[in-house]
Amino acid sequence: MSNLIPDKKQIEASKHILIKSDKESLAQASVLYSYCLSLHKKVSLYAPEIERRFSFLPWIDKRRSNRADSADLEIDSSIEIMDLYDFMQMSDVKINAKMATALYAGLLQRYENFLSDAMDGTIFAVLAQLITLGADHQKCVENIVYSEPLSKIRLKAILYKNLLLKENAKVAHVSFCDEDLHASGASLEDVCEAAREFLHIVHIREVHIVKSDENNKIIKIVKDV
């Protein structure tokens, strides 16, 4: 289990808990926020950045862009989502509907809309349990799977246009430049995310992300596991 999770006794002994989150761990932050509230603690959520698709999560509207200096315990929410679930189970936490929805959202993100090869029977069993506990499957899917900012859609249009298939269509070369990022309003992180989606195209087993304005330098290789 991740050493980012503090001992339960630390949480229970604290009066004011600060949960620190980046935009990749907002689901975990939501779970931890609910958990700390259930212990009747004062809780602050520090998240300088947020992805709009996660704005539906419980308590995200409580986030602040500055730290709460009065907190006597800080928890980093950058925890593997299954490690967090295991922590809740081992600590005999009663998972309510808000926690279940946030955990479900985190699993949906972690396992690439449940299309990841890492999905197994254990994950499906956890998902079934979370739905029984009140997880809002429809809301999670609508916001995480089907909700994309215009910048990502514009970026994907550019990447598909520049897509070249090699080695009997098993290897895809996807090129972009800084001007493409500027024109679309997207980020390098968005490029890598789109590249993973290209692995769902028939025959493609490997995607090479190429920076065309840096002598066609391959900056990342994404492989089918």
Quick one: tokens of 51? 């992805």
Mean pLDDT by 10 residues, the chain (225 residues): 74 94 95 96 94 93 89 94 95 96 97 87 96 96 86 91 93 95 90 87 93 94 79
Give residue 2's pLDDT: 52
Residue type, 108: L
What CA–CA distance (Å, rounded) separates 64 from 44?
8
pTM of the shown model: 0.78
Residues forming a β-bridge with 206: 171, 223
**Measuring CA to CA, which residue among 137, 202, 148, 215 is closest to residue 172?**
202
Backbone angles phi and psi of 150, in degrees to 5: -60, -30
Count Cβ atoms within 10 A of the Cβ of residue 41 and give its class: 0-12 exposed, 13-18 middle, 19 or more buried. middle
